[in-house]
């Protein structure tokens, strides 16, 4: 933004008066420009050595200064209020009356300052007034930060400057010092904290509980956010919220070129406490959510009567689906000048651990754990769903992220963690494919259009040290066009021998994301084909010893086959419309063909239809009611194998902290 002199006319008058009084005022006395309160700025007049012997000289200087000041005032009134004009006028006055012991100026050599006005949670704050003061008190300029929080002030003589910023309800707790060098632009982002009506910063003086509660109050009043942070990719096609993402989903990486940080009340409370500077410097965020859901279903027989629908398989009940805690540091992938790193540890407790468990990670809670009622595994459990480090190399093409550890499987519209989905319940397409992998994955942004991925892991749902782990490759390619409104994402997600084992799937995906022009409508369409080889035949008693717990066999074509090839395919389509900033509706339709019954336990074709509404309160509470209808065409798959159809009214509430 263009810098403006603080109250130009008042500055001219005050500066002229200050020069006229300089002969009689004692050296170094304080001065105050008397403009409007919102633009008041304190100055300290530069010291001058005086003596009676030089009084005549001072009268000559006073006359010259008055003339120069008058000329400068006329320039202020006539010239456009641009950075160069103001900077030159200010230097004109300063050089006309230099301190006696200062060297004579040798010529123009100026610098500038630029930065972003930020809230304590890292979000940009727009329309904040930024003031910059030279250390000697001669220069006082201000600027308004733009919609993205950015500001710039130029025409500055080299030297130290103090920067402050303010906006109604916010202010800087202390001035920030920056050194301006000739012909250089200094970066100087300014952080603002909430202030009391009297203007004092209050966040750090409150207890943790009060700061935590205040973060919710600010969120629900709409005062906790800021303008969207800058990116270096195509414009984000949608917004989050109300949608679960702003950029089309891609697993195994942060979005390269886009801001990835998230700040919820727990992080905000930590950032505004007495150790806030440490948290900011470490760039570590701590947050999570509680997700509780309920359903009314036409199925009712058995402990998991809603299956194969998921994740809410317990019919006609209320469930604690997820209680999560994230600890993470997100690498800055917008910048391209230095290496950065990050990490994430995601802790999940709840019913949904039954779908995220991987062999080798506390898997004894679920796998090989039969129960007296005929089910397998504990109903509730814990799972460290994600545990990885990110290494960001900005000089590799348009940026490369190397992820090492346990991460979410790369493809899919949906994801394990509740807020990353359009709906409370999951599609069959998502429920019966790969969930997590442990290994190493590289994502390289070639351009705004092209992104490539490749990696190695221990396979789907298997830690590298697990008995069923197999060296597995993956390769993906994303192509984006029409300014990011369209994206095609294809993946070979599990490349190995594909022989029957615990979830050892060969899987091939294609997903198309499309926004309809500049309207409020968009769609997502995912299709996959997957299989396992040498799958034991459930209709051949001789194959019983080959079956593994938690790994279904196949309904082979002939009873005498010991094993067979077990494929399946699925296609799911979302049609979504945004309704304002806090609401959207989605319609999901899918077809799932379990050709050999290996995934669901029933050899049948399925269709599923879901209508859902999402409603946000601030950015911290989300409601997702829905209506869902499932039908199995070739076998009674629902209500513990008693019904071909199932209708459900369901919904959940996610409370972020």
Q: What is the 3-state secondary structure (H, E, C) of 398-445?
A: CCEEEEEEEEECCCCCCCCCHHHCCCCCECHHHHCCCCEEEEEEEEEE
CA distance 343 to 328: 5
Q: Is 559 exposed, middle or buried (0-12, 13-18, 19+ CB in 10 A)?
A: exposed
Furthest-apart CA atoms within the chain: distance in Å: 121
The kind and range of the H/E element at 9 are helix 8-21
**pLDDT value at residue 625:** 98
Domains of the chain are 1-108 (no CATH), 109-227 (2.60.40.1120), 265-656 (2.40.160.10)
The mean pLDDT value for 455-464 works out to 96
Asked whether residue 310 carries a pLDDT value surpassing 60, the answer given is yes
Angle between helix 8-21 and helix 55-78 axes, rounded to 10 deg: 170
Q: Are strands 185-187 and 111-119 parallel, antiparallel or unpaired?
A: parallel
Question: What is the pLDDT averaged over residues 498-517?
Answer: 96
What average pLDDT does this structure show over 627-636?
98
Which of 427, 428, 388, 451 is closest to 247 using CA atoms?
A: 451
Both tokens of residue 645? 């159809």
Asked if residues 72 and 121 have their Cβ atoms less than 8 Å apart, the reply is: no
Give the pLDDT confidence score for residue 64 in this predicted structure: 47
> Is the pLDDT reported for residue 93 higher than 70?
no
What is residue 43's predicted lDDT score, i.e. its pLDDT?
Answer: 29
Of 48-52, 156-160, 403-407, which gets the smallest average pLDDT? Answer: 48-52
- E strand or H helix that includes residue 356: helix 353-356
Q: Which of 161-175, 192-206, 358-372, 385-399 has the highest mean pLDDT?
A: 385-399
Query: Residue 291 above 70 pLDDT?
Result: yes
Question: What b/e readout covers 630-649, taking b as 16+ CB neighbours within 10 angstroms?
Answer: bbbeebebbbbeebbebebe
**Residue 431 tokens, joined:** 């429920």
Q: Return the SS3 of 510.
A: strand
Q: How many CB atoms lie within 10 A of CB 64?
A: 13
When pLDDT is averaged across residues 314-319 and rounded to a whole number, the result is 98
Winning range, highest mean pLDDT, from 100-109, 142-151, 611-620: 611-620
Question: What is the pLDDT at residue 61?
Answer: 47
In the block, tokens 């998230």 appear at 262
Average the pLDDT over 497-507 and give the result: 94
| In 103-143, alpha helices (H) | none
Instruction: Determine the Cα–Cα distance for residues 334 and 594; give it in Å rounded to an integer.
Output: 43
Q: For residue 354, what are its two tokens?
A: 């039954």
Check if the beta carbon of residue 647 is closer than 8 Å to that of residue 608: no
Please check the confidence at residue 72 and state whether its pLDDT lies above 50.
no
- Give yes or no for residue 201 having a pLDDT over 70: no
The owner of tokens 């001219």 is 12
Q: How far apart are CA 612 and CA 615, in angstroms?
A: 10
Which has the higher per-residue pLDDT, 269 or 223? Answer: 269
How many residues are present in the chain? 657
Q: Half-sphere exposure of residue 605, counting CA atoms within 13 Å on the CB side? A: 3
Which of 558 and 48 is assigned the larger pLDDT? 558
Question: Where do we find the tokens 């540890």?
Answer: 345
Please determine, for residue 76, whether its predicted confidence score (pLDDT) is greater than 90.
no
pLDDT at 225: 56
Report pTM.
0.73
Least confident of 36-45, 58-67, 266-275, 483-492: 36-45
Residue with tokens 């389509």: 573
Q: Please state, for a pLDDT cut of 90, what percent of the chain lies above it.
A: 66
Distance between CA atoms of residues 583 and 617, nearest Å: 10
Backbone angles phi and psi of 122, in degrees to 5: 90, -5
Q: What is the model's pLDDT at position 550?
A: 83
CA–CA distance from 440 to each of 157, 330, 404 (Å)? 50, 17, 4
CB atoms within 10 A of CB 589: 15
40, 92, 88, 95: which is closest to 70 by C-alpha? 92
Average pLDDT score over the chain: 83
Q: Which residue blocks in 503-651 are alpha helix, DSSP H?
A: none
Distance CA 28, CA 32 (A): 13
Task: Supply the pLDDT for residue 374.
Answer: 86
Contact 398, 446 (CB under 8 A): yes
Of 217-221, 246-250, 482-486, 504-508, the least confident: 217-221
Q: Rounded CA gap, 490 and 250, in Å?
A: 10
When mean pLDDT is compared across 19-33, 365-379, 435-449, 525-539, the lowest value belongs to 19-33
For range 18-25, the mean pLDDT: 36
DSSP single-letter state for residue 472? E
pLDDT at 189: 86
Q: Report helix, strand or coil for 220.
A: helix
Instruction: Give the confidence band of 171 by pLDDT, cuts at 50, 70, 90.
Output: confident
* 474 pLDDT above the threshold of 50: yes
Comparison of pLDDT for 196 and 152, the residue scoring more: 152
Confidence of residue 516 (pLDDT cuts 50, 70, 90): very high
Please say whether the beta carbons of 361 and 377 come within 8 A: no
The closest alpha carbon to 134, from 117, 113, 153, 156, belongs to 156
Dihedral pair phi/psi, residue 74, rounded to 5°: -60, -40
Q: Is 303 left (phi over 0), alpha (psi -120 to 50) or beta?
A: alpha
Given a contact cutoff of 8 angstroms between Cβ atoms, the answer to whether 647 and 315 are in contact is no
| Mean pLDDT to the nearest integer, 396-403 | 97
pLDDT of residue 192: 84
Q: Which of 117-126, 221-230, 415-424, 508-517 has the lowest mean pLDDT?
A: 221-230
**Of 400 and 39, more confident:** 400
Beta bridge partners of 289: 324, 656
How much is the CA Rg of the chain, to the nearest whole Å?
Answer: 32
- The pLDDT confidence band at residue 269, using thresholds 50, 70 and 90, is very high
Q: Name the β-bridge partners of 564.
A: 535
């Amino acid at each position: 933004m263009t810098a403006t002199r603080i109250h130009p006319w008042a500055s001219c008058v005050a500066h002229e008066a200050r020069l006229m009084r300089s002969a009689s005022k004692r050296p170094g006395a304080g001065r105050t420009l008397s403009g409007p309160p919102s633009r008041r700025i304190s100055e300290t007049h530069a010291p001058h050595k005086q003596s009676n012997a030089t009084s005549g000289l001072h009268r000559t200087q006073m006359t010259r200064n008055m003339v120069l000041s008058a000329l400068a005032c006329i320039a202020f009134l006539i010239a456009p209020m641009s950075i160069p004009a103001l900077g030159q006028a200010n230097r004109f006055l300063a050089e006309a009356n230099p301190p006696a012991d200062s060297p004579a100026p040798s010529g123009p050599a100026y610098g500038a300052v630029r930065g972003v006005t930020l809230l304590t949670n890292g979000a940009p704050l727009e329309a904040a007034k930024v003031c910059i003061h030279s250390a000697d008190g001669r220069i006082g300029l201000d600027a308004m930060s733009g919609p993205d929080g950015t500001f710039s002030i130029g025409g500055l003589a080299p030297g130290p400057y103090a920067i402050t910023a303010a906006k109604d309800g916010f202010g800087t707790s202390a001035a920030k010092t920056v050194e301006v060098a000739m012909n250089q632009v200094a970066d100087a982002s300014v952080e603002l904290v909430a202030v009391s009506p009297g203007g004092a910063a209050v966040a750090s003086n409150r207890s943790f509980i009060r700061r935590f509660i205040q973060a919710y109050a600010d969120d629900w009043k709409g005062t906790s956010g800021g303008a969207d942070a800058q990116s270096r990719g195509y414009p984000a096609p949608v917004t989050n919220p109300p949608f679960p993402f702003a950029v089309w989903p891609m697993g195994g990486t942060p979005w390269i070129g886009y801001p990835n940080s998230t700040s919820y009340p727990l992080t905000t409370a930590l950032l505004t406490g007495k150790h806030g500077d440490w948290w900011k410097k470490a760039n570590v965020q701590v947050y999570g959510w509680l997700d509780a859901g309920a359903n009314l279903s036409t199925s009712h027989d058995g402990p998991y009567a809603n299956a194969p629908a998921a994740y809410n398989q317990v019919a006609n009940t209320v469930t604690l689906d997820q209680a999560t805690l994230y600890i993470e540091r997100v690498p800055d992938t917008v910048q391209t000048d230095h290496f950065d790193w990050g990490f994430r540890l995601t802790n999940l407790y709840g019913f949904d651990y039954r779908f995220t468990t991987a062999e080798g990670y506390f898997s004894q809670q679920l796998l090989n754990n039969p129960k007296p009622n005929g089910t397998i595994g504990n109903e509730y459990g814990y799972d460290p769903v994600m545990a990885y480090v990110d290494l960001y190399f900005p000089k590799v093409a348009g940026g490369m992220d190397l992820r090492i550890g346990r991460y979410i499987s790369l493809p899919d519209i949906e994801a394990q963690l509740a807020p990353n989905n359009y709906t409370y319940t999951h599609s069959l397409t998502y429920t019966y494919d790969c969930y997590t992998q442990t290994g190493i994955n590289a994502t390289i942004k070639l351009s705004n259009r092209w992104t490539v991925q490749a990696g190695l892991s221990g396979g789907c749902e298997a830690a590298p040290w697990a008995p069923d782990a197999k060296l597995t490759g993956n390769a993906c390619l994303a192509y984006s066009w029409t300014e990011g409104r369209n994206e095609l994402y294809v993946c070979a997600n599990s490349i190995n021998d594909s022989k029957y084992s615990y979830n050892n799937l060969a899987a091939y995906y294609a997903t198309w994301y499309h926004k309809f022009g500049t309207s409020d409508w968009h769609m997502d369409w995912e299709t996959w084909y997957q299989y396992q080889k040498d799958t034991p035949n459930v209709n051949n008693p001789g194959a019983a010893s080959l079956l593994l717990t938690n790994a279904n066999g196949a309904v082979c074509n002939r009873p005498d086959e010991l094993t067979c090839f077990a494929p399946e395919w699925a296609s799911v389509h979302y049609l979504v419309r945004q309704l304002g900033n806090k609401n959207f509706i989605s319609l999901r339709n899918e077809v799932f063909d379990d050709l050999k019954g290996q995934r669901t336990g029933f050899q049948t074709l399925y269709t599923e239809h879901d209508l859902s509404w999402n409603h946000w309160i601030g950015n911290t509470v989300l409601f997702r009611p829905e209506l869902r209808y499932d039908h199995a065409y070739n076998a009674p798959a629902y209500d513990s194998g008693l019904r071909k159809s199932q209708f459900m009214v369901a919904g959940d509430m996610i409370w972020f902290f």
